[in-house]
Chains A and B, each alone.
Chain A
C-alpha cells in the first residue's frame, strides 16, 4: 500500500492522470474516517486529499464559503460560527459510530452527502453545494456551479458529484451555501409514544405552521443512552424549534398545545437541546461501535419508519428514527440474513438503504445500496465512464464493477 497526499490541485490531477495511464485503481480519501462505509475498494494506492486544505473564500453577506476538500469540517464550522452562521445540513460526525479516528474533511462529507437532523426541513448537503472543483478520472480539472446561490447554467454536476463517494471525480474544492445560525433553540419531548404514535406526532408537528426544524423518535433503550433524555425512562418523540428567542418560546408553546392529543410535552432548554440533537445527528443512541454489529441507514417515507422499526425489533437489533420518521439508523447482527431482512423491509416500504458499517468480507459481498434497474444501471455505467474512462476512482465503492 502506498499513499499519495499532494497539497496542490495540479499535483492531484497529475497523480490521477498517471494512474489512468497505468490503469491503476486509486482509493480516494481525506482522513479516512468513513473508509468503512459501503463496499471496500480494492486499490494498492491511496490518494489522500487531506493536504489540499484551507478556506479560499468566506463572504458572510453572500452566504457563501469555499474551501479545499481537505479542510476539516471542524475548521469550517468554527469559522462560520464566528460570523453567527452555520452549515445548513448539520452533517454528522460518525467517527464514534464507525470506530474511526481523526477529523472528517469537507470533501468527505460532500462525497458521502451526509446530512443531519435539519435535513428534513432545510435540505441535504447536496442542496447546498453551490460550486465544485474536481479532477475527473482522466486527470482533467473541471469546475461546476459557481459561487452564487442561484445557478442553472448547464448540467448540475455539483449534485451528481455530491454523494458519488469519489467514484466519478476527486472533489478538490467546494463552495457551500451557509445560513445564519438561530439565536436559540428548544426541544419538545413527548414521552411514552410507540413508534407509530411517535411518528404521527412528528408529522403533526412538521405539518404545522410553527417552523419545526427537526423531528426524531427514539425507543426507550436508545433514549436512555442520551443523558438529557434518560430521565424520561420512556420512548420519546422530539421536535426542535430554532429561531429568535421570542419565536422559539411562542412556537414551543403553540406546538405543545397542538400536540396535546399525543400527551403532555416537556420543553428542553437550549443547552439540553444542543446535546440531544448532537447525539441524534451522530447516531450516538445506537451505541459506539458496539460488539460486532453492523450499521445501516434506511431512508423511507416518514409514515413507513415504524414498519422498519418493527422489523428491526424482530431481529433483536437497535434503531431510532430521524427526519420525521423517514431516516432509520439501525444496528444489528452483521450477517447476510440480517442484511436481507432489513433491505427487504426498506424495499417493501419503497425506500433505500446504505450499509454504513460491517466487516470487510460482508460488505464486499452484499448490495450495500439497492441495485438499480437494468436501464438505469446501464446509464450509471456510461456516466461513470464519462468521468472516469479507465474505472480507476474508488472502483466498486457503491456497486461491484462500477
Chain B
C-alpha cells in the first residue's frame, strides 16, 4: 500500500471553524461536512484507496473557487481538486485534512464557435458532452478516453488524457487553446485564448497534465474538429505477439497512420469476446483493430493498402467491417475491455506504461513470465501505434495478500517499461498510485527541478499534496538549488 501523510492535527482540530468559514463563502448546498454525505467522495477510480476528506465544496463559479482557495491558503488547509472522480491513478484521492473542491456543478458550455473551431466549457462538462454539443454540425472533440461518458474535461486537462484515437488526433494537450485557472492564493488568471500559439512561457503546456499540483482549472477552451466523412474498422488476427508487432511496424513505416491501431493479446481477446460478442477470433494469439477514415472510396483504398501489408504476416483471419454496426461492435469489445475483465475477475488493476513500440514482443513475453511467478492472470491491451500499454492484472480484493501481489506485479511492469526506454504512465497519470515509482524514471536532480516548479505555483504545497512526488520530499516545500 502507498502511504498517505499523517493529517495535520491542527487542521483536524479546527474542522468546525474551517467548515463554518467555507459555509460563509458558498451557497448552503455547496458545502458538505456530514459523514454520510462525505462518503461518496472517499475514493476515485483507484478504489483500493479510500479516505474520507475533511469537507467537500461544490462551487458554481470561478469566483467561488477563488474564495475557497484564498480561504484554504490563509488557513493552511490542503486542497484536492476533483472532477468526475474517474482517475485510475488516485489523482482525486482525498486526504483526511483536505478540502475536496468538486467541480461537477460547473458544467456549462459557455460558447461554441464553428468558424474558429473552438468551444469554451466549464471543467465539469463531460468529455462526451463536448462532442455531443457539436455533433449536429459535424464536429467533435478529439481525445476519447475510455471513460469519456463520465470523465470531465477539467480532469482530462489535469491528467492530459489520451484515448484510442490519439495516434491521429493527439492527446488533450494537443487539443487545447486556453484555460482559466485559479491559483492557491485565489488569483484568477487567463491562459491562452482563442488563438493557436501563445507568447511567453507555455503555461498551457505545463498546466496540462499537472495533476492538480499547480492550480485549479475553472474554464477550458478546446479545439473542435470537423469529423471525417466516415470511418471503418478492420480486425486482423495473428499467430503470435511478435508477428502482430512486426505488422504494426510495417504499417507505420509504409507511410500509413491509421486513426486507431489497437492491439489485444489472447487473454484480452477472450475476455472481451465473452462480453461484447463482436466475433473476435478466439484461436488467435494477438489481434489488431485498425481503423481508417475518409470517404468510402478512401476507406477502401487505405484498407486495401493495410490489408496487403497484413497478409505478409500470415494472418489467421482478416475481416473488414461491412457496416457502421459492425464497426461499432468491433469497438464495443475494445472500449468495454475493463468491464469485460471485471466479469472474469472480481478485481483488477489497470496499468498504463508506455514502451517503444518495437519492444512490444519482448515486453509481453516478460509480463507473461511475471504473471506466472506472481500467480496472477494478466490481459494486455495496447495502443500499438503510440506504444501505450494497458496490462490488466486480475486479483481478489477480499484477499489482501492477492492485492499486495498485484501491486508488486504492476510495479514490476512499470519498471520494465522504463527499463526498455519507456515511461511509467502514458495517459492515466502518476497520482498516488505511481508516486513512489517516480524515482525509477527520474533522478533526484530531475525530481527537484519539477518540485521547484510546483513550489513556484504553490509555495506551501497545499494543492493535491502527496500525489505525483515521492512522499518524504513532497512535504518539504521549497527545494532550493544547492549553493
* Segment among A94-102, A224-232, A378-386 that sits at the interface with chain B: A378-386
A140 partner residues in chain B, CB cutoff 8 A? 445, 449, 481
Give chain A nearest CB distance to B241 CB in angstroms.
16
Specify which of B118, B190, B421, B450 is in contact with A155 (CB 8 Å cutoff). B450
Interface string of A364-402 (1 = CB under 8 A from B): 000001101101100110110111010000000011000
Q: Which B-chain residue is minimally distant from A301 (CB atoms)? A: B194
Specify which of B195, B295, B423 is in contact with A151 (CB 8 Å cutoff). B423
Specify which of B191, B194, B441 is in contact with A153 (CB 8 Å cutoff). B441
Specify which of A142, A159, A209 is in contact with B173 (CB 8 Å cutoff). A159
* Segment among B33-41, B221-229, B307-315, B318-326 that sits at the interface with chain A: B221-229
Judged by a CB distance under 8 angstroms, whether A313 is at the interface is no
Give chain B nearest CB distance to A303 CB in angstroms.
5
Judged by a CB distance under 8 angstroms, whether B399 is at the interface is no
Contact A150 B452, beta carbon cutoff 8 Å: no
Judged by a CB distance under 8 angstroms, whether B1 is at the interface is no
* Segment among B125-133, B208-216, B264-272, B277-285 that sits at the interface with chain A: B208-216
Q: Which B-chain residue is minimally distant from A137 (CB atoms)? A: B481
* Segment among B337-345, B362-370, B382-390 that sits at the interface with chain A: B382-390
B214 partner residues in chain A, CB cutoff 8 A? 155
State whether A179 and B257 are in contact (beta carbons under 8 Å apart), knowing that A136-B449, A140-B445, A375-B187 are contacts in the complex.
yes
Q: Which B-chain residue is minimally distant from A167 (CB atoms)? A: B201
State whether A247 and B197 are in contact (beta carbons under 8 Å apart), knowing that A150-B354, A209-B228, A375-B183 are contacts in the complex.
no
* Segment among A4-12, A118-126, A260-268, A286-294 that sits at the interface with chain B: A118-126
A146 partner residues in chain B, CB cutoff 8 A? 354, 421-423
- State in angstroms the CA–CA spacing of A146 and B383 once bound together: 17
Among residues 124 to 143 in chain A, which have CB atoms less than 8 Å away from a CB atom of chain B?
124, 126-127, 136, 138, 140-143
- State in angstroms the CA–CA spacing of A19 and B213 once bound together: 32
- State in angstroms the CA–CA spacing of A151 and B205 once bound together: 13
Specify which of A156, A183, A200, A385 is in contact with B255 (CB 8 Å cutoff). A183
Contact A142 B445, beta carbon cutoff 8 Å: yes
Contact A153 B425, beta carbon cutoff 8 Å: yes
Interface string of A157-169 (1 = CB under 8 A from B): 1111011100010
A113 partner residues in chain B, CB cutoff 8 A? 197, 202
B160 partner residues in chain A, CB cutoff 8 A? 152, 156
State whether A142 and B446 are in contact (beta carbons under 8 Å apart), knowing that A119-B196, A207-B226 are contacts in the complex.
yes
Give chain A nearest CB distance to B197 CB in angstroms.
5
Contact A250 B298, beta carbon cutoff 8 Å: yes
Judged by a CB distance under 8 angstroms, whether B78 is at the interface is no
Judged by a CB distance under 8 angstroms, whether B427 is at the interface is yes
Give chain B nearest CB distance to A83 CB in angstroms.
8
A82 partner residues in chain B, CB cutoff 8 A? none
Q: Range of interface residues on chain B?
A: 35 or more
B463 partner residues in chain A, CB cutoff 8 A? none
Contact A376 B481, beta carbon cutoff 8 Å: no
Judged by a CB distance under 8 angstroms, whether A187 is at the interface is no
* Segment among B55-63, B67-75, B454-462 that sits at the interface with chain A: B454-462
Q: Which A-chain residue is minimally distant from B221 (CB atoms)? A: A301
Judged by a CB distance under 8 angstroms, whether B116 is at the interface is yes
A151 partner residues in chain B, CB cutoff 8 A? 354, 423, 425-426
Q: Which A-chain residue is minimally distant from B188 (CB atoms)? A: A375
Contact A301 B199, beta carbon cutoff 8 Å: no
Among residues 232 to 290 in chain B, which have CB atoms less than 8 Å away from a CB atom of chain A?
249, 252-257
* Segment among A48-56, A69-77, A277-285, A351-359 that sits at the interface with chain B: A351-359
* Segment among A26-34, A39-47, A58-66, A333-341 that sits at the interface with chain B: A58-66
Contact A326 B438, beta carbon cutoff 8 Å: no
Contact A379 B183, beta carbon cutoff 8 Å: yes
Tally of A-B residue pairs with Cβ under 8 A? 259
Judged by a CB distance under 8 angstroms, whether B356 is at the interface is yes
Contact B446 A382, beta carbon cutoff 8 Å: no
Contact A163 B201, beta carbon cutoff 8 Å: yes
State whether A156 and B170 are in contact (beta carbons under 8 Å apart), knowing that A124-B196, A150-B388, A179-B257 are contacts in the complex.
no
State whether A144 and B446 are in contact (beta carbons under 8 Å apart), knowing that A160-B201, A183-B255, A352-B199 are contacts in the complex.
yes
Q: Which B-chain residue is minimally distant from A349 (CB atoms)? A: B195
Q: Which B-chain residue is minimally distant from A144 (CB atoms)? A: B446
B445 partner residues in chain A, CB cutoff 8 A? 140-142
Contact A247 B301, beta carbon cutoff 8 Å: yes
Judged by a CB distance under 8 angstroms, whether B171 is at the interface is yes
Q: In this complex, which of A144, A151, A159, A207 has the most chain B Cβ atoms within 10 angstroms of its Cβ?
A: A151
Judged by a CB distance under 8 angstroms, whether A236 is at the interface is no
- State in angstroms the CA–CA spacing of A379 and B171 once bound together: 26
Judged by a CB distance under 8 angstroms, whether B115 is at the interface is yes
Give chain A nearest CB distance to B4 CB in angstroms.
20
Contact B428 A152, beta carbon cutoff 8 Å: yes
Judged by a CB distance under 8 angstroms, whether B83 is at the interface is no
Q: Which A-chain residue is minimally distant from B442 (CB atoms)? A: A154
Contact B455 A386, beta carbon cutoff 8 Å: yes
- State in angstroms the CA–CA spacing of A179 and B167 once bound together: 10
B255 partner residues in chain A, CB cutoff 8 A? 84, 180-181, 183
Give chain A nearest CB distance to B318 CB in angstroms.
21
Contact B249 A61, beta carbon cutoff 8 Å: yes
Judged by a CB distance under 8 angstroms, whether B136 is at the interface is no
Q: In this complex, which of A159, A211, A300 has the most chain B Cβ atoms within 10 angstroms of its Cβ?
A: A159
Interface string of A161-201 (1 = CB under 8 A from B): 01110001000000000011101000000000000000010
Other CB < 8 Å A-B pairs besides A119-B196, A156-B160, 5 of them?
Answer: A124-B196, A146-B423, A153-B430, A379-B457, A399-B200
Give the 4 A-B residue pairs with the shortest CB-CB distance, closest first.
A159-B205, A382-B456, A386-B452, A369-B199
B residues in contact (CB < 8 Å) with A: 113-118, 138-139, 159-160, 162, 166-167, 170-171, 173-174, 183, 185, 187, 189-191, 193-206, 208-210, 213-214, 226-229, 249, 252-257, 294-295, 297-298, 301-302, 305, 354-358, 383, 385-388, 421-430, 434, 438, 441-442, 445-447, 449-450, 452-457, 468, 480-482
A residues in contact (CB < 8 Å) with B: 59-64, 83-84, 113, 115, 119-120, 123-124, 126-127, 136, 138, 140-144, 146-160, 162-164, 168, 179-181, 183, 200, 203, 206-211, 244, 246-247, 250, 299-303, 323, 326-327, 350-354, 369-370, 372-373, 375-376, 379-380, 382-383, 385-387, 389, 398-399
A-B contact pairs, 22 of them (CB 8 A): A60-B253, A113-B197, A124-B196, A124-B197, A136-B449, A140-B481, A141-B445, A148-B386, A150-B427, A151-B426, A155-B468, A156-B160, A158-B205, A180-B252, A203-B117, A209-B226, A211-B294, A301-B193, A352-B197, A373-B190, A376-B191, A386-B455
